[in-house]
Amino acid sequence: GWARALRGAVEAEPPSKSIHTFSGSLRLGSGDRSSPLGADNLLLRGTQLRNTAWCFGVVVYTGRETRMARNSSKTPLKLANLEHVVNRAMLIVLGTQGLLAALSSAMYCVSKAHFWTFWYLFPEGDGRTSIILPDWLGYWFTFFILYCNLMPISLYAAMEVCNFAQSYFIKSDLGMYDEEQDCPALA
């Protein structure tokens, strides 16, 4: 019953990321006397208090304002070095493909009037077909699609097959088997 009669106020610093520092003050009752609070008086989320019969606590930060939430971040992707190299190579190939498409589109737009005169390229007339996009952009997409075989998509499939085979060998390796827990290696 006497815990319900306990009145007071806590003044704390604004939410921050630091888990090693804390400053605030605790004032009990209606008096002017306050006690300082430091990092030793702060329990972070998930902390267990042991060897203590009882204690009084006040929640200072909640939700996104907790120090644990402020320090949490998205876990980075775990990629092998080979995957980093392949991704970088794919970006270079994609950039080269875009550059070749731009160069081809520019050259075609400059010299397309010459090609209109060839009856075997445009048998139905002058060859001036209308497209929805501006000529340079429409032809850029056309050449980009034509150059798409520069990108070795099968490389990703081959890497995934190799990863699967390696994980199978790791799981099947008797040298990595834990007899105590009766558990094979996880890959």
Question: With contact defined as beta carbons under 8 Å apart, do 45 and 62 qualify?
Answer: no
pLDDT of residue 81: 84
pLDDT of residue 104: 95
Residue 33 pLDDT greater than 60, yes or no = yes
Rounded to an integer, what distance in angstroms lies between the CA atom of residue 131 and that of residue 108? 15
Rounded to an integer, what distance in angstroms lies between the CA atom of residue 101 and that of residue 99? 5
Write down how long the chain is: 187
**Residue 183, SS3 per DSSP:** strand
pLDDT of residue 129: 65
Beta bridge partners of 11: 25
The number of angstroms, rounded, from the C-alpha of 174 to the middle of its chain's C-alpha atoms is 35
Q: Give per-residue pLDDT as tens, 163-182.
A: 888 888 888 888 888 888 78
pLDDT of residue 125: 60
pLDDT of residue 170: 86
pLDDT of residue 1: 62
Starting at the edge strand that comes first in sequence, how are the strands of the sheet with 8-12 ordered?
8-12, 24-28, 35-37
Q: Give per-residue pLDDT as tens, 68-100.
A: 777 777 777 677 788 888 878 888 988 999 999
List the alpha helices (DSSP H) in 4-153. 67-71, 81-115, 135-146
Read off the pLDDT band of 126 (50, 70, 90): low
pLDDT of residue 99: 96
Backbone angles phi, psi at 11, to 5 degrees: -110, 125
Residue 62 pLDDT greater than 80, yes or no = no
